[in-house]
C-alpha cells in the first residue's frame, strides 16, 4: 500500500499526531511519502510526496483549506484523498487528529467508501492566447478587490446570452462548493451526489439577478466588460489570476474527478446540521 501525507502549512501538532501516524503506518508495512512541509513534524524524514504518482490514498492533516490546496496540486486523480481535521470547520473531514489510529486502521483494512465529486475546469483566454488554466473542487470566483468599483461581466451559457452581471463578482460553483462561498452569497445548497454548475452573483446591482443551477454539461463563458483593473479569478480561494479588460473566463465540468474517502455512516443532511446547523429550529433540534 502506498500512502502520501501532507499537512496544513504551519500546522501546530502538540500531540504529535502526524509523527505517530507515519510511525503507525510504517509499523504496518505501509510505504509512506510525505510532503516537504510535513518533514518538520517528522524527524529524520526526507520529502518524497509526488502529486504525479498514483497513491492509494493521500492523507491530509488540516482543515478544509488544506484539502482544497491539495486539489490545486494534484496531477494524478487515481489517488483518493482522506481529510483528518486539525482545523476549525472540517466540512470535508471524516475524523480528527486524536482518532488517527482508528482512521488509519480502517484505511489499511480497506474499510471505507469512496465518494466521487465533480471538479470544475477554468481557462482564461487573453486574445487568442490561453493565459491561465486550473481545476477547482468548490468554486471559481471572479471578483473585485476591496475598494474597487462594481464590475460588468457578460455571461453566456453554451454560447447563448445568459446575463450581464453588474455586481461585486460572480461565483461559479460545483455542488460540493454549494455550501461554501456560493452559499454565503445567497446560492442554493445542492447535493454533492449531483453534477451541476451553479451561478451565484455577488451583491448584484439588480434584484432580478438571482442564482441559477445549470446542467453539468453547461459551458459557461464570462467576459470582463469593464476597465476596472483590480479583478481576479480565484480557484477555491487558493490560486488566483489577475484579469484584464476583455479577458474571457471559460468554466466547465472537468474531465477529472476527485475521490474522497468516506468512513462515517452519517447522511449528508446530518453533516449539514452538525457543521452548518442547517434546518435546525431555534431550540437546536
Residues acting as catalytic residues: 64
Give φ, ψ of 104 to 5 degrees. Answer: -70, -35
Torsion of CA 223, 225, 230, 236, to 10 degrees: -20
CB proximity list for 207: less than 8 A, separation 6 or greater:
none
User: Would you say 213 and 188 are in contact if contact means Cβ atoms under 8 Å apart?
Assistant: yes
3-state secondary structure of 280: coil
CB proximity list for 167: less than 8 A, separation 6 or greater:
150, 151, 153, 201, 202, 203, 204, 205, 209
At CA 243, angle to CA 241 and CA 244, rounded to 5?
Answer: 150
C-alpha cell at 72: 490545486
- Whose CA is closest to 154, among 170, 138, 140, 139? 170
Amino acid at each position: 500500500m502506498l500512502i502520501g501525507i501532507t499537512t496544513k502549512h504551519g500546522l501546530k501538532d502538540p500531540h504529535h499526531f502526524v509523527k505517530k501516524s507515519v510511525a503507525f503506518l510504517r509499523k504496518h508495512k505501509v510505504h509512506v511519502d510525505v510532503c516537504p512541509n510535513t518533514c518538520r513534524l517528522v524527524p529524520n524524514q526526507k520529502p518524497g510526496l509526488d502529486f504525479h504518482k498514483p497513491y492509494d490514498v493521500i492523507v491530509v492533516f488540516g482543515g478544509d483549506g488544506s484539502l482544497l490546496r491539495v486539489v490545486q496540486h494534484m496531477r494524478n486523480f487515481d489517488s483518493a484523498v482522506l481529510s483528518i481535521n486539525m482545523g476549525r470547520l472540517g466540512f470535508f473531514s471524516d475524523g480528527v487528529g486524536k482518532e488517527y489510529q482508528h482512521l488509519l486502521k480502517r484505511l489499511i483494512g480497506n474499510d471505507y467508501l469512496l465518494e466521487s465529486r465533480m471538479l470544475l475546469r477554468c481557462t482564461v483566454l487573453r486574445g487568442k492566447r490561453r493565459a491561465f488554466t486550473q481545476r477547482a473542487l468548490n468554486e471559481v470566483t471572479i471578483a473585485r478587490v476591496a475598494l474597487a468599483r462594481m464590475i460588468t461581466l457578460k455571461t453566456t451559457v453554451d454560447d447563448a446570452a445568459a446575463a450581464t452581471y453588474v455586481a461585486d463578482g460572480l461565483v461559479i460553483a460545483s455542488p460540493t462548493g454549494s455550501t461554501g462561498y456560493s452559499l454565503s452569497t445567497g446560492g442554493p445548497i445542492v447535493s454533492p451526489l449531483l453534477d451541476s454548475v451553479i451561478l451565484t452573483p455577488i451583491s448584484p446591482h439588480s434584484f432580478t439577478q438571482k442564482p441559477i443551477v445549470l446542467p453539468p454539461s453547461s459551458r459557461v463563458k464570462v467576459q470582463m466588460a469593464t476597465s476596472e483593473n483590480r479583478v481576479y479569478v480565484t480557484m477555491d480561494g487558493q490560486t488566483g489570476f489577475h484579469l484584464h479588460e476583455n479577458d474571457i473566463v471559460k468554466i466547465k465540468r472537468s474531465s477529472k474527478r476527485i475521490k474522497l474517502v468516506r468512513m462515517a455512516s452519517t447522511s449528508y443532511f446530518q453533516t449539514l446540521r452538525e457543521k452548518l446547523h442547517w434546518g435546525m429550529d431555534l431550540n437546536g433540534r
